Amino acid sequence: MTTTTAPVTPIMAGGTGRSGTTVIAGLLHRHPSVRASWPREVKFVNKEGGLLDLVIGPEGAKRRRLGRGSSPADRWSTFEEGMRGPWWLRTNRLGRASGLHLSIEESDRDRLLSDLRAGLDDNPSGAGRSFLAGMARAQRGDAGEPWWIDTSPPNIANARRIHEFWPEARFIWMVRDGRATAASVMAERWGPDDPLEAISWWEKRVRRAHAGLAGLPQARVLTLSLEDLVVLDREARYGRVLEFLGLTDDPGMREFFTDHMPAERVGLDKWRSRVPDPDAFEAAFEAAAARLAAEGIDPHTRP
């Protein structure tokens, strides 16, 4: 497969999950300067044993699990296993194929792995950036777009490490009213089905996202409310997305925004019909939001 060699800058969108990362990727993908990854979540950047762990080392709980003595050879073995195994061939929550094999030739993967391994000793971060850029360029449909967006929710919790790895990367923190997020995750097979556990799930992930962004340059981060983008402040938020990336408006992106992102798509109070006791659910949410606010973390609630 022939791939382009033009430079590419990652846009790492993320958040709690169920907060609109797929929406923002779908919108930006319509701009000729942006290409969304396929699959939308590549997984291999910030998963345990992923690219960040390989080139800058694991931290915190991951370091404890892997052991401080985890050698470069061990980290390489773990990463290579992921790239040839679960990240390459996987299924999503609907049982559909969603691995990297959908968009990348195996020969390109193997070539990039070989180049990565050869460069790790002398310049781990440089080799890692070349690998990520190469994987982006090797995906089918690449046309040399200067921006490439991935939507793995942990991108924001890992933003500080990603920034260390790739200082030019941009981050879009997709936020959504916690009641809507928690109610949405309850409908997922992988999520908590208890309302109070779902609120706790949301609270913990907002806290992790806030910690991940601490200390990053403001120019590298856009916090974007799904409700504002789709319902409450459409034009201003649409313009802010373009401004953040230095893009001019484009007819294809504008058409998608107008025709495929109607305000009705995001019902502001739909969560009430998705939980058995809306009043108790809201009380639990308000308590969680108050805890976050007391820690100096904006819970991004709606009145």
Nearest to 228 by CA among 220, 219, 216, 237: 237
What proportions of the chain, in percent to the nearest 5, are helix, strand and coil?
A: 55, 10, 40
pLDDT of residue 26: 97
- Burial of residue 94 (number of CB atoms within 10 Å: 0-12, 13-18, 19+): exposed
pLDDT of residue 91: 81
Mean pLDDT of the chain: 93
**Which residue blocks in the chain are alpha helix, DSSP H?**
21-28, 51-56, 60-66, 72-84, 106-119, 124-138, 159-165, 178-186, 195-213, 226-227, 234-245, 251-260, 278-294
DSSP string, 239-263: HHHHHHHTPPP-HHHHHHHHHHS-G
pLDDT of residue 4: 64
Q: What is the pTM of this model?
A: 0.94
pLDDT of residue 267: 84
pLDDT of residue 92: 77
In angstroms, the CA 83 to CA 14 distance is 21
Domains for the chain: give ranges and CATH numbers.
9-294 (3.40.50.300)
Looking at the DSSP assignment, which residues form a beta bridge with residue 34? 147
**Which stretches in the chain have pLDDT values below 50?**
1-2, 64, 69
**With contact defined as beta carbons under 8 Å apart, do 237 and 229 qualify?**
yes
Angle at 298 between CA 294 and CA 303, to 5 degrees: 100
DSSP string, 108-135: HHHHHHHHHHHHTTT-HHHHHHHHHHHH
pLDDT of residue 3: 57
Looking at the DSSP assignment, which residues form a beta bridge with residue 173? 14, 223
